[in-house]
Structure 1
Amino acid sequence: MIGDAAPPLPLSFDGVPLHQRLSDALPPLTGRVLDRLVDQVPVYDTMPREQLRGEIQGVVEQCIASFAAMLRTGRLPSEGRFLALRQSAAKRAEEGVPVEAVLRAYHIGAQECLQQMLRHATADDLDHVRAATGLVLEFLERMTVTVVAGYTAERQAVLGEEQSARQDLLTALVEGTDVLGAAARWGLDVPDCYLVLDLSIGAHPDEALDGVSPVIAGKRKLRRLRVELDRHVEGTVLSALSGDGGLALIPCRAASDRVTHQDWARLAGAVSHMCRVAGVDIMAGAAAAAPADVPAAVTLAREVRRVAAASERPPGLYLLPDVLLEYQLMRPGPARDELAHLIRPLTERPELLATVRGYLRCGLSRRRTAHELCVHPNTVDYRLRRAAEITGLDVTSGPDALRVRAAISALDATEAP
């Protein structure tokens, strides 16, 4: 709205009212706006010609006409005129046009209108130039708010529907129900294979800080994990993640028996990126499966992840071959219980058990073990001798070392939750 000190309406340059200049130049002005959209905003260049010269051209003409009316009256257009802009923005959101592209389109239109008017301004029109520029900014502000509101509302609805579709398909896959029916219901494609990830996610340091909401910190961590996972894998990821872990199904073009080492390496890299970006430790078990075999793969991936954690592996991605011995040794049965019994006496001497574990982990090197445990090598030797006296198994002896490793795996399995 023009203030009391503004020049009288209608505004004019060189004696010709500005609303008349815009109205008279409507066809070529609209054409210039459309040309710039195609040239400077790539997504508009991909639209069908009938849409560009139909719906989009109509929106441009309506915006120019609305602004011309504002120049004539000094008042913002009615809610009804802005409603059309809101509906157009909602259509762009439904089509997946980025919001930055939509906003840039409206700003290009405003720039062309301003240039169309200013080319006729003279030195005597300074007050009218100021007033017209103020009206351009006022119109652009209202238009931006309207467009963002319409776009955001529709995008949230679309995302809600997409999320429902993903969760419906994920549930069908995990429970082994009608996968093809769920996919057809939402118009989703089902790949030949899924890479199944069972994740255990550590806490972020912010979640334990005084004065920081653990809920907010946890949600921020989870958001970063999801973004990073989507960024580093191809296709639509189906996931159910919480602050401490969850499940993710990643589509794969290869059949389950043809997943390559490179495929797993890329997924391991994605998990590594997730750890670094979110600032947390992630232990992941993985398995490949055809859609019908996903329930069994989910169970296997979970067991692999638990075995890797129980055997004190570092954070990362693990497949069954990575923990094959530990996996087999941790299976329930009398042999596992007997193995665990061999090493259980050391649970009463935690420092001895930790030294034995460290010695195995460090490749039977006493110096590396001492460095890792921050003790003198002689202390390592003493503890290993005491462990041998208590259990009757000498981990420094080749034949006994394998039995000790197996016994610790069995112990971990029996004591794991």
Structure 2
Amino acid sequence: MPNTGAAPPSEDRWTALVHRLHDDADSLVSQFVDRVALLPPYSQGRVPLDRVRDDAISSFDYLLRRIGDLPVPERLGEVGPSIGRDRARRQVPLEQLLTAVRLDFRILWAALREHAGARDLELLVEHVEEVWAVVEDYSTTIQVSFVQETAVLARERRRVRSALIGSLLSRLEPDPQDVTAVALALEVDADWLFLVAATRQPEDRSLRAAAEQLSASGRPTHLQDTGRHSVLITRWHGSERATADDALPHVTCAVAPVARGLAEVPRAAHIAQHVADVMGAEHAGPHGLPQMWSRLAGVRMAELAPGVSSVVLDPLHRLRPAERDRLVDTALDYAATGSVQQTAGNLYCHRNTVVNRLRRFAEVSGCDMTKPRQAALALAALEWSSLDGTTSG
């Protein structure tokens, strides 16, 4: 007998079975809603049950049309992506969302078995992979749209957060409303302690990596682009006297004194950015005011009163380079150690040689390194000269 192109009898029975199920879809929807309502966060009301029911009606309509080879209207093709986007906006965890979606297969399969007759059991076995594939494809569609929407929302949250923190950092005495808004955006307590670090943008790779690690560890962290700098703000764990080395090991950056609350973060950021501006290639790891004060003071002194540093530097520049270098090296080492004996050991010379060099440095520069006020002026001037390239010019 010639082949007329008609569907095999088994396919006709399968289509009829799916059609019967499609006509009784209300039962599937009710079962789905009842079971999903027990899952957190659905049980917590994060997704209204009316929305769950409407989505279930459309979902089973779509799945049964796919399984039964029925026409699928264009509007139903958007159901999966719409569910994914909606659940992402409602902050439903992806794992819980997929658990709910995969209930579709269990409910569908149980209903197919219930509607099937004794002679259709073999038919179910033939189509089980097809049913699972349709549900899994639908689940994948929902998952992809969920992930995409989550990424969009994350970018939007970062944009909003950056705008809020930009407003906070714009004034050293921030508006209390800005402080409250940033606390909400960062999900922190405004009275917590905060570590603030900064680096110039072309040199911010290690700081960015540290920000990612801190965030991954669960510590509230934000990296702000200020144009010239990258500023890291993170919750501080430990005492105010602890160092930044634990939080930012091997990260070359400037750190401010710990900010006692978000309201102090703008001033801390201001300090960190100024310190970052005077850090050089020789500074590895986190550096704060205790290490960088003299260099920062030298820069500011040169900007505001260049004649002050020249009082110290000009007489030194009139010396022969070799003598000038010996005196400067001795003065700097003594300032770091405070010990003639230790300086002598560091420079491989007799202690009397150190004493003579310090005396000669005082005669030439007018700054006695054994007197703190004069030593501070000399250090600031020498730090500026090293930045300016004039120490050994």
TM-score scaled by length of structure 1: 0.62
Pairing 1:230–2:215 present: yes
Aligned residue type for 1:381: C
Contact 1:239 1:246 in 2 (8 A): yes
Q: Would the alpha carbon gap of residues 228 and 321 (structure 1) be closer, same or farther in structure 2, given more than 3 Å must change?
A: same
Instruction: For residue 150 of structure 1, report the CA deviation from its aligned partner.
Output: 3.4
Instruction: For residue 329 of structure 1, report the CA deviation from its aligned partner.
Output: 6.3
Aligned residue type for 1:316: P
Q: After superposition, what is the alpha-carbon deviation per residue over 1:30-67, rounded to whole angstroms, capped at 9, x for unaligned?
A: 4366536744xx4333325xx44321133234323332
Q: Would the alpha carbon gap of residues 8 and 261 (structure 1) be closer, same or farther in structure 2, given more than 3 Å must change?
A: closer
DSSP 3-state at the match of 1:270: coil
Pairing 1:85–2:80 present: yes
- Between the aligned residues of both structures, percent identity stands at 15
Aligned mates of 1:311, 1:164 — CA distance in 2: 32
DSSP 3-state at the match of 1:55: helix
DSSP 3-state at the match of 2:45: coil
Unaligned runs of at least 5 residues, structure 1 = 205-217, 253-259, 371-376
Pairing 1:288–2:259 present: yes
Aligned residue type for 2:43: D
DSSP 3-state at the match of 1:45: helix
Aligned residue type for 2:231: L
Equivalent positions of 1:329-408 (< 5 A) are: 331-332=300-301, 333=305, 336-339=309-312, 380-381=348-349, 389=357, 392-393=360-361, 400=370, 407-408=378-379
Contact 1:283 1:316 in 2 (8 A): yes
Equivalent positions of 1:268-347 (< 5 A) are: 269-272=246-249, 275=250, 280-286=251-257, 288=259, 296-306=267-277, 309=279, 314-316=284-286, 318=288, 320=289, 331-332=300-301, 333=305, 336-339=309-312
Contact 2:331 2:361 in 1 (8 A): no
Decide which structure has the larger Cα Rg and report it: 2
Aligned length in residues:
365
1:44 is aligned to 42
Aligned residue type for 1:92: R
Aligned mates of 1:124, 1:350 — CA distance in 2: 102
1:97 is aligned to 92
Instruction: For residue 240 of structure 1, report the CA deviation from its aligned partner.
Output: 1.4
Q: After superposition, what is the alpha-carbon deviation per residue over 1:239-275, rounded to whole angstroms, capped at 9, x for unaligned?
A: 1178x951245589xxxxxxx9626749764333xx5
1:62 is aligned to 58
Aligned mates of 2:151, 2:356 — CA distance in 1: 64
DSSP 3-state at the match of 1:17: helix
Q: After superposition, what is the alpha-carbon deviation per residue over 1:81-116, rounded to whole angstroms, capped at 9, x for unaligned?
A: 131232222222222233443334312333443355
2:199 is aligned to 200
1:211 is aligned to none
DSSP 3-state at the match of 2:77: helix
1:413 is aligned to 384
Q: Would the alpha carbon gap of residues 185 and 323 (structure 1) be closer, same or farther in structure 2, given more than 3 Å must change?
A: closer
Equivalent positions of 1:122-133 (< 5 A) are: 125-126=121-122, 128-133=124-129
Unaligned runs of at least 5 residues, structure 2 = 1-6, 363-367, 389-393
Pairing 1:72–2:78 present: no
